Amino acid sequence: MSERMTRPVPAPAVTIENKPFFDAAEQGRFLIKRCTACGEAHWYPRSMCPFCHSDQTVWEESEGQGVVYSFSILRKSPSGPYALAYVTLNEGPNVLTNVVDVAPDDLKIGMKVKVKLQPTEGGPPVPVFVPI
């Protein structure tokens, strides 16, 4: 069995638009945005809805669970192999993220995963996903 993947993550750029997300992450909460005009949840959290272009968006706490939609293992990294993946949240949005705490050969499309708010190098935690 191969070693489980991990990935050091640099500190994200915190802006006025995403500060509520990172403030919640520091409290252990995972937020997404939902448009009150069309009802669609979306990721990456931003003030304008990518579906109907309304500015009527609100923050919503997500359970942070979903399934791996697609992934790629990057094997030639100084920190070891890591996985970039699209995770489809139960609320609907697809999140481009890292999947950690799983061996590269054990990661599968359709795998159930949940969010883990991982510390960064000098900034707020960021969402990565781990198998359930």
Amino acid occupying residue 124: P
Q: Is 6 a domain residue?
A: no
pLDDT of residue 105: 93
Q: Is 7 a domain residue?
A: no
Ordered per-residue pLDDT tens for the chain, 132 residues: 467 888 788 899 999 999 999 999 999 999 999 999 999 999 988 899 999 999 999 999 999 999 999 999 998 888 889 999 999 999 999 999 999 999 999 999 999 999 999 999 889 999 999 999
Domains identified in the chain, total number: 1
* CATH number of the domain residue 59 falls in: 2.40.50.840
pLDDT of residue 2: 62
Phi, psi for 26 (deg, rounded to 5): -65, -20
Range of the domain at 110: 19-131
- DSSP assignment string, 57-116: EEEEE---EEEEEEEEEE---TT--EEEEEEEETTS-EEEEEE-SS-GGG--TT-EEEEE
